[in-house]
Amino acid sequence: MTLNPHQWVATHADYLYAYAITRVNDEEQAKDLVQETFLAALEKTANFEGKSSERTWLTAILKNKIVDVYRKKSSGLKNIEVKAEEEQSDFFEADGHWVAEHGPKEFGIEDKDHLVNKEFDSILKKCMEKLPALWMAVFTMKHIDEEPTDTICAELKVTSSNFWVIIHRAKLNLRACLQKNWI
Partner 1 sequence: MSYLKRIIYNCKQATFLIDKKATSRLSFREMIELRIHLYGCSFCRIYKKQSRMINEMVQELFRSSMERDVKLDENFKNELQERIEAELNK
> If phi over 0 gives left and psi between -120 and 50 gives alpha, with beta otherwise, what is residue 52?
beta
State which residue, 7 or 52, has the beta carbon closest to partner 1: 7
State which residue, 74 or 140, has the beta carbon closest to partner 1: 140
Q: What is the DSSP string of the chain?
A: ----GGGHHHHHHHHHHHHHHHHH--HHHHHHHHHHHHHHHHHTGGG--SSS-HHHHHHHHHHHHHHHHHHHHGGGHHHHHHHHHHHHHHHB-TTSPBPGGGS----S-TTS-GGG-HHHHHHHHHHHHTS-HHHHHHHIIIIIS---HHHHHHHHT--HHHHHHHHHHHHHHHHHHHHHHH-
User: Could you tell me the smallest distance in angstroms from the CB atom of residue 90 to partner 1?
Assistant: 12
User: Could you tell me the smallest distance in angstroms from the CB atom of residue 125 to partner 1?
Assistant: 7
State which residue, 5 or 50, has the beta carbon closest to partner 1: 5
User: Could you tell me the smallest distance in angstroms from the CB atom of residue 177 to partner 1?
Assistant: 10
User: Could you tell me the smallest distance in angstroms from the CB atom of residue 43 to partner 1?
Assistant: 9
State which residue, 42 or 76, has the beta carbon closest to partner 1: 42
Quote the Cα angle for 103-105-110, to 5°: 140
User: Could you tell me the smallest distance in angstroms from the CB atom of residue 37 to partner 1?
Assistant: 10
* Chain residues that interact with partner 1, rule: CB under 8 A: 5-6, 8-10, 13-14, 17-19, 21-22, 31, 34-35, 38-39, 42, 88, 91-92, 95-98, 103-107, 110, 114-115, 120-121, 124-125, 128, 139-140, 142-144, 149, 164-165, 167-168, 171-172, 174-175, 178
State which residue, 68 or 150, has the beta carbon closest to partner 1: 150
